[in-house]
Structure 1
Amino acid sequence: MIAKAKAISHGINDIRYITGESHNKKHPEKIYRVLDNMMPLEPDAMGVWNSMQLTLSRFRPVKNSVIRIELSPSPEHTKDFTIEDWQKLWQDFATEFDKQVFKDKDGKVRNCPTNLANSKYTVWLHMESNSGVPHLHAAVCRMDEDGQINNDHNIHLRAQWAAEKVAKKRGWTTAKQVRNVNMPLVTRDCMNVLKSMSSWSWDEYKAALTKKGYTIHERKDDDGILHGYAIMKGKTKYKASNLGIGRNLMVSKLPATWEKLHYRSGIAANSKPKDTDSKQIQKPSASADYTQYKNYNPNTVPYTLSHEGQEHRFYIPEKVLNHFNDEFDYRFVSNSQELTDMAVAIFVGLLEVPNAPTGGSGGSQSELPWRDKDEDDLLWAKRCARAAIRTLGKKPKTGLKR
């Protein structure tokens, strides 16, 4: 089970989105109210917002006045859920969320617990438009009814750790653990197949994976044009968009991924190991000191990437992930996860910054494909975001009315 949380300033927009009143939500009929806490009977979006504003006006103003929470359990665990079951799941999660306490190495409490139980909130069940996979959205007032602010420090960790505890208590960890173990292996097999191919061919790629024991499910349109695929291993299905890094194993990305793999191998084969030359042209790279992000530090949040068949867990500054979340807002950007994965991979040094096209006079210092040793985390994050956009493109969700 996965959970995300963030304190936001645009509370009314988020409330409209989760209640289905926003124009950005294509299928409001697939949204259901789960429960409200400490509010009038079934208010609409504006009613929820006004009720929260009433609480805030009694005490002191808060910039980020709403906490946005998403809770996504595995569909196999919730296929027979009733609304009452979803209510119980949320209440269990909120209880664990409020228990989270952060201490320093000396055992001193650094961040006090939150108090969602005594805060106004609204919780809604969303069904994904195509797959029908259910997940919860919640908007929580940042201030409780006693005038105490719900601490948003390390709020990503609060949410994820609470979700993990609830999942363990319910015995939901086994399927996720198996999937997490197998996914890097599936990715590795896909990459090895691409490396072994002398030229790009979908039929050859499919046949090679079939020989390895996988079943390939193709998604074609009425004209027979391939638009996507999934890989089956036993009874587990892996969508191509969930494999690789930056979704580079999607059907639309496969030719470019094959080309990059063979371009790199060609460069390695043709390069000559001359020490003097390498010293002259060696440039600092983003990967020079990525190990600094392998251990937890205060004000960091965990982020897991799958790269070349291996799972990598990093701890990146919270302000950096917040910047990526704002830059690639999932509500408006269709490839937000793909962009975020690539930006994080560049930031920590797992990928090199793709070279920006330049004119005859050369590029600016801000577009050089490495990180300056004195560069601020946020400035580097902004360059990583721009590099991801240059490489993948920023694709708006279709049908949005801004």
Structure 2
Amino acid sequence: MIAKAATISHGGNAVRYSVNKDKAEIVKVNFLPDDISAEAMYQRMVLKQKEFASTINKGRPLKRNVIRMEISPTKEESAGWTLADWVRLANEYIRVFDSIDLSKKAKRASAKSTNVKNSQYVVALHHDAKSGIPHLHIDVNRVDMDGKVNDDHLIAERTMSAAYIINERRGWVQPEDIYERRRQEIADTCMDVLRSLTKFSWAGYEGELKSHGYGIHLQKDDKGNVRGYSVLSGNSAYKSSILGKGRHLMPSKIEATWARLHGERKSSVIPNAEQKIRPATVSTEMPQTNRLALVIKHYDISTDEYHHYHVAISEEADEIIRKECSVPDDNSFATIEDIQKTALLLFAEYLDGATSIAASSGGGGSDMSGWGKDKDEDEREWARRCAQMANHLCKRRRGLHR
């Protein structure tokens, strides 16, 4: 089982999505009637917040007023479940979530525990559109029934810690174990692909991996040479440096590995210009006299069903972000797309969007106060800093309980 959580400012939309999504089933409500609309549920949450408005958050409006959780057992773990089984999982998860003590790490007494069990919330059962695998959505009022705010510091760590504890209790597979098993499977597939190629090329390597159900993200230098790559499986990315033994699947060694498998000498590598994330549009601004046209790339990025951001970035800065972003080896939740989108949103100074993607990919929790572009900072250096910050934000939070 894996789990995600984040505090959000669009609570009304989130509750509507959880309750009204096609084929959604209400599993449980807490301190809310079970026969009212999603809109009415959220309004009752807002009324509770207004009741204690003078005391919560030092009298300032609570911008992120809802905790949104998603709990996803594997298909095997939830096979044959009834609604009562989902109720038990929701109850157990909330108890464990509340019990995680992060006060020392967060250096805040309020992070000792949360009080979701004494807060208004709604639990809904959804089915994944592609796989049909069921999972839970839980939308929780940040303000509990006693007027105290549920602390959201290091919330990604809190939710993953809770998932680890429950996985151990139930004898379920931990995310790292799943990650390691898939890592070995992918390494074996990569070797089989190399054996099947009559001549090595990145285009051929990529095409064969895709035929096995995997994606690939290539990282290139200014000359178009591949300097790194990740194999993509579902929502996970596996860097070439951790595949196989002796790093023999890295770009610097992969052609020699192919040659060794075929008993041939090393031949030249044919670069492939394909990229995993493509911009929505590419435009060329009017050039000044005796200057090359500046190519601008445009991205439309969604952090959830309701929040969408437009990013315009020069081709040069975009290329820096693609080269500098990398998937943390220890975060089985993050993908290369997560890190790149986080960096692009940071570049455009959409901090809420960037931290939202980082949190949903198992990262987040860093202090972003004071973050921003320096007045005289070169765009290329700004892009590089954004990529480095995205790498940091998407690292898995340390100190998880097992």
TM-score, with length taken from structure 1: 0.55
Change (3 A) 1:243 1:199: farther
Please report how far the alpha carbon of residue 40 of structure 1 lies from its aligned counterpart in structure 2 after TM superposition. Answer: 1.6
**Secondary structure of the equivalent of 1:114?**
coil
Change (3 A) 1:287 1:51: same
Question: Aligned letter for 2:36?
Answer: P
**Secondary structure of the equivalent of 1:67?**
strand
Match of 1:42 in 2: 35
Question: Aligned letter for 2:73?
Answer: P
**Secondary structure of the equivalent of 1:138?**
strand
Find out whether 1:181 has 2:174 as its counterpart. Answer: no
2:19–2:26 contact (8 Å) kept in structure 1:
yes
Find out whether 1:158 has 2:158 as its counterpart. Answer: yes
Please report how far the alpha carbon of residue 367 of structure 1 lies from its aligned counterpart in structure 2 after TM superposition. Answer: 3.3
1:56–1:143 contact (8 Å) kept in structure 2:
yes
1:303 to 331, 334, 338: 331
Show CA shifts across 1:148-176 (max 9, x none): 000000011111111111121111137x5
Show CA shifts across 1:219-264 (max 9, x none): xxxxxxx7x7379xxxxxx9943564499xxxxxxxxx999976xx
Please report how far the alpha carbon of residue 328 of structure 1 lies from its aligned counterpart in structure 2 after TM superposition. Answer: 10
Please report how far the alpha carbon of residue 134 of structure 1 lies from its aligned counterpart in structure 2 after TM superposition. Answer: 0.5
1:229–1:239 contact (8 Å) kept in structure 2:
no
Q: What count of residue pairs does the alignment treat as equivalent?
A: 279
Find out whether 1:169 has 2:169 as its counterpart. Answer: yes
Please report how far the alpha carbon of residue 185 of structure 1 lies from its aligned counterpart in structure 2 after TM superposition. Answer: 1.3
Change (3 A) 1:239 1:76: farther
Match of 1:85 in 2: 85
Change (3 A) 1:329 1:259: farther
Alignment of 1:338-353 (within 5 A): none
Change (3 A) 1:329 1:150: closer
Q: CA RMSD in A?
A: 5.3
1:121–1:139 contact (8 Å) kept in structure 2:
yes
Match of 1:117 in 2: 117
**Secondary structure of the equivalent of 2:81?**
coil
Cα distance in structure 1, aligned partners of 2:127 and 2:73: 12
Match of 1:349 in 2: none
Please report how far the alpha carbon of residue 97 of structure 1 lies from its aligned counterpart in structure 2 after TM superposition. Answer: 0.6
Question: Aligned letter for 1:326?
Answer: G
Cα distance in structure 2, aligned partners of 1:36 and 1:166: 22
Cα distance in structure 2, aligned partners of 1:108 and 1:37: 27
Question: Aligned letter for 2:51?
Answer: R
Please report how far the alpha carbon of residue 187 of structure 1 lies from its aligned counterpart in structure 2 after TM superposition. Answer: 2.3
Show CA shifts across 1:103-122 (max 9, x none): 43799857231001110000
Show CA shifts across 1:201-224 (max 9, x none): 9999999x9xxxxxxxx9xxxxxx
Change (3 A) 1:285 1:17: closer
2:44 to 42, 51, 61: 51
Please report how far the alpha carbon of residue 303 of structure 1 lies from its aligned counterpart in structure 2 after TM superposition. Answer: 3.2
What are the ranges of 5 or more consecutive residues in structure 2 without an aligned counterpart? Answer: 54-60, 216-230, 241-249, 256-266, 270-319, 336-341, 365-376, 395-402
Identical amino acids, percent of aligned pairs: 26
Show CA shifts across 1:85-118 (max 9, x none): 1001000000001101114379985723100111
1:366 to 379, 385, 388: 379
**Secondary structure of the equivalent of 2:84?**
helix
1:286–1:370 contact (8 Å) kept in structure 2:
no
Cα distance in structure 1, aligned partners of 2:156 and 2:334: 20
Question: Aligned letter for 1:56?
Answer: Q
Cα distance in structure 2, aligned partners of 1:194 and 1:155: 41
TM-score, with length taken from structure 2: 0.55
Match of 2:65 in 1: 65
